[in-house]
Amino acid sequence: MDFTMSEAATAFRGELRQLVKEHVPEDFRGAFTDDPADLDVAQRFCRILADRGLLCMAWPEEFGGRGATVWEQTVVREEMWALHEPRGAQYMGVNWVGPTIMRHGTRTQQSLHLPPIARGDVIWCQGFSEPEAGSDLSSLRTAARRDGDGWLISGQKIWTSYATMAQWCFLLARTSTGERRQQGLTVFLVPMSDPDIEVRPIRAMLGPHHLNEVFFNDVRVTEENVLGQVDEGWSLVQEVLAFERVGIARYARCERLLHDAATVLGDSWDSVPEGLRNRWARMLTHCRRARLLAYQVVALQSQGTVRPGDAAAYRIAVTTLDQDSAEVLTELAAFVHSSHTAGGVVVDNADAQRFCRDVEEHWRYSQAATVASGSIEMQRILLARSLLAAA
Give the single-character DSSP code of 191: E
Of 24, 86, 22, give the one whose Cα is nearest residue 55.
86
Q: Which long-range contacts (CB under 8 A, 24 or more apart) does 35-38 make?
A: none
Cα distances (Å, whole numbers) of residue 228 to 102, 232, 365 = 11, 7, 33
Q: What domains lie within the chain, and their CATH numbers?
A: 7-122 (1.10.540.10), 126-232 (2.40.110.10), 249-390 (1.20.140.10)
**Res 154: pLDDT:** 98
- pLDDT (tens digit per residue) in 77-134: 999 999 999 999 888 899 889 999 999 999 999 999 999 999 999 999 999 999 988 7
212 vs 164: CA distance, rounded Å: 8
**Res 291: pLDDT:** 94
**Partners of residue 31 on adjacent β-strands:** none
Cβ partners under 8 Å of residue 276, min gap 6: 328, 331, 332, 335
259 vs 255: CA distance, rounded Å: 6
**Res 344: pLDDT:** 38
Contact, 164 vs 218, CB < 8 A?
no
**Res 370: pLDDT:** 85
Note the pTM of the prediction, 2 decimals: 0.90
Give the single-character DSSP code of 56: S
Cα distances (Å, whole numbers) of residue 377 to 134, 178, 384 = 12, 26, 11
**Per-residue model confidence as pLDDT tens for the chain (391 residues):** 555 677 888 899 999 999 999 999 999 988 888 888 999 999 999 999 999 999 999 999 999 999 998 889 999 999 999 999 999 988 889 988 999 999 999 999 999 999 999 999 999 999 999 998 877 888 999 999 999 999 999 999 999 999 999 999 999 999 999 788 889 999 999 999 999 999 999 988 777 778 899 999 999 999 999 999 999 999 998 888 766 666 789 999 999 999 999 999 988 898 889 999 999 999 999 999 999 999 988 888 778 777 778 888 999 999 999 999 999 999 999 877 664 444 434 456 788 889 999 999 999 989 888 887 778 888 898 889 888 887 7
41 vs 263: CA distance, rounded Å: 28
27 vs 9: CA distance, rounded Å: 27
Contact, 48 vs 19, CB < 8 A?
yes
Give the single-character DSSP code of 85: -
**Res 229: pLDDT:** 96
